[in-house]
Amino acid sequence: MHFTHQNIDEATNLAGNGPNGNRATTKVKEKKRKEREREGERNQILHPLPSMLLRRISTTSFSSLTSPLCHQKRAIPLPNPNDILLLPPSAGCSGLQRRLTFRSSPSCSRMASGFQRTTQEPTARRPSFVPLPPSDADKAELFRGLEAALGSPFSSDPLSPPPNPLIVVISGPSGVGKDAVIKRLREVREGIHFVVTATSRAKRPGEVDGKDYYFVTKENFLSMINRNELLEYALVYGEYKGIPKQQIRDFMAKGFDIVLRVDIQGAATLRSILGDSAVFIFLVAESEASLVKRLIDRKTETSEMLLVRIATAREEVRHMKKFDYVVVNAEGKLEDSVKLVNSIIDAEKAKVRQRSVNI
Ligand SMILES: Nc1ncnc2c1ncn2[C@@H]1O[C@H](COP(=O)(O)OP(=O)(O)OP(=O)(O)O)[C@@H](O)[C@H]1O
């Protein structure tokens, strides 16, 4: 028996008057409830809620051009990409949801009409169709067609923000090749500023004041400390060495990456000041024997000085694990070491979560 609202009511009345009145009433109510449920399901299929419609359009707006429009079980015919219908910005929704809807198939027109109900688009401002150029069209034409379809021009602005300027701390035992690596790095890489360290030690042959170091007297160095002008300083083998703060600030403000060259003690102090905001690279020789030969070949230290440096180097190698990277500067392989340092800086610049320094 097919129930209508009228005969349900009649049956309900009859049952209420008959001998099995209560049971009959329950049966009729149950049928009525099921009928309402079925009715509800049909409405759900035919008239998706506006919020569901919006979600489907937004989650499938791009893939819809090549794949089925909706992820729902009830198959909706694939719309022709040329049938993209553009709604004007005044339509009242946001972004793609406002602009993309489809015509042609019954399901698509249902979606479109659902959209119109949602946005109450006035008839006078009915949208016009903008056909997409075919994919083998002229590049410029296709570009403009895609812009028109999406409703906004394609921006040439960078999609990722520019990387932050870095502070790169290069450290390692005496004689390992810190100066040699940095000198070559400055030749092969642009946009880096090597901080000229202030030192109280005497100039070595070939060194230039203001280029290799700022050579200052011990008295001048002590007054720099008093004026809090140094990021870090230390007394190394009886001589002061320190990093002028202002120089770092000035060059970072211009977008330069900063390279600092410090001994192991200096690196430990900088780590406590800068934490993870800077990159710490430990330069090491391939072996202790190789390091000793390199120091002897340099001919800049007396035997006693060599002894102290080599004994210190033994201790310093243990600090390697506190660094972010280790670069082996092997005998005759200076170029490889420089390449690796260069790659480390490149990788740091490509990080999603950039280091950010504040000094
Ligand atoms: N890969 C390498 N192969 C051979 N010799 C090298 C290499 N790297 C550096 N040297 C040489 O080793 C010596 C020490 O290098 P450098 O002066 O750069 O060391 P450093 O770490 O800056 O030392 P210090 O901390 O004592 O100033 C120099 O004579 C340098 O030319």
Q: Residue 205 C-alpha to ligand 1 middle, in angstroms?
A: 15
Q: How far is the CA of 180 from the centre of ligand 1 (A)?
A: 5
Give the residue with greater pLDDT, 238 vs 4.
Answer: 238
Going by CA atoms, what residue is nearest to atom 23 of ligand 1? 175
Task: Compute how many other C-beta atoms are within 10 angstroms of the C-beta atom of residue 44.
Answer: 11
Residue 124 located in a structural domain: yes
Shared domain for 97 and 190, answered yes or no, is no
At 209-248, the pLDDT tens digits run 998 899 999 999 999 999 999 999 988 778 998 999 999 9
**Closest CA relative to residue 150, chosen from 63, 69, 62:** 62
Is 52's pLDDT higher than 50? Answer: no
Query: What is the pLDDT averaged over residues 103-121?
Result: 41
In contact, 271 and 317? CB cutoff 8 Å: no
Q: What number is the average pLDDT over the span 38-59?
A: 43
Give 145-158 pLDDT, tens digit per residue. Answer: 999 999 999 999 99
Q: At 71, is the pLDDT very low, low, confident or very high (cuts 50, 70, 90)? A: very low
Is residue 184 located within the same domain as residue 324? yes
67 within some domain = no
Check whether residue 188 and residue 301 sit in a common domain. yes
Atom of ligand 1 nearest to the CA of 331: 3
ipTM of predicted assembly, 2 dp: 0.98
> Ligand 1: which residue has its CA nearest to atom 25?
174
Using the atom order of ligand 1, give the atom closest to the CA of residue 332. Answer: 3
Q: Give residue 66's pLDDT.
A: 38
Residue 88 lies in a domain: yes
Q: Are residues 127 and 203 in the same domain?
A: no
Percent of the chain having pLDDT more than 90? 55
In this predicted structure, what is the pLDDT of residue 43? 45
In a domain, 62, yes or no: no
User: Ligand 1 mean position to 292 CA, how many Å?
Assistant: 11
CATH code at 264?
A: 3.40.50.300
Q: Which atom of ligand 1 is nearest to 182's Cα?
A: 18
If asked whether residues 335 and 202 sit together in one domain, one would say yes
Q: Residue 252 falls within a domain, yes or no?
A: yes
Contact predicate 2/34, CB 8 Å: no
Q: Is residue 310 part of a domain?
A: yes
For residues 242 and 310, state if they share a domain.
yes
Residues 269 and 135 grouped into a single domain? no
State yes or no: pLDDT of 103 exceeds 80: no
Same domain, 187 and 320: yes
Q: How far is the CA of 21 from the centre of ligand 1 (A)?
A: 106
Return the pLDDT at 171: 97
Ligand 1 atom with the smallest distance to the CA of 183 is 18
Closest protein CA for atom 31 of ligand 1 = 180
Q: How many domains are there within the chain?
A: 3
pLDDT for residue 320: 95
Residues with a known catalytic role: 204, 298, 309
**Structural domain span for residue 288:** 167-349
Task: Give the end-to-end CA distance of the chain in Å, rounded to a whole number.
Answer: 85
187 & 226 share domain = yes
* In a domain? residue 206: yes
Q: What share of the chain is helix, strand, coil (3-state, %, to 5)?
A: 50, 15, 35
pLDDT digits (tens, 9 = 90+) for 190-210: 999 999 989 999 988 899 999
Residues 29 and 173 in one domain: no
Confidence of residue 38 (pLDDT cuts 50, 70, 90): low
Residue among 242, 195, 192 nearest 220 (CA): 242
- Whether residues 85 and 139 share a domain: the answer is yes
Tens digit of each residue's pLDDT (9 = 90 or more) over 12-28: 444 444 444 455 556 66
Buried b (16+ CB within 10 A) or exposed e, 102-132: beebebbebbbebbbebbebeeeeebeeeeb
Q: What is the mean pLDDT of the chain?
A: 76
Considering 125, 150, 175, which residue would you say is the last residue of a domain?
150
pLDDT at 93: 41
Ligand 1 proximal residues by C-beta, below 6 Å = 172, 174-180, 294, 298, 329, 331-334
Q: What's the CA-to-centroid distance between 281 and ligand 1, angstroms?
A: 16
What pLDDT score does 75 carry?
40
> Do residue 234 and residue 331 come from a single domain?
yes
Query: How confident is the model at residue 244, as a pLDDT?
Result: 94
The answer to whether position 33 is within a domain reads yes
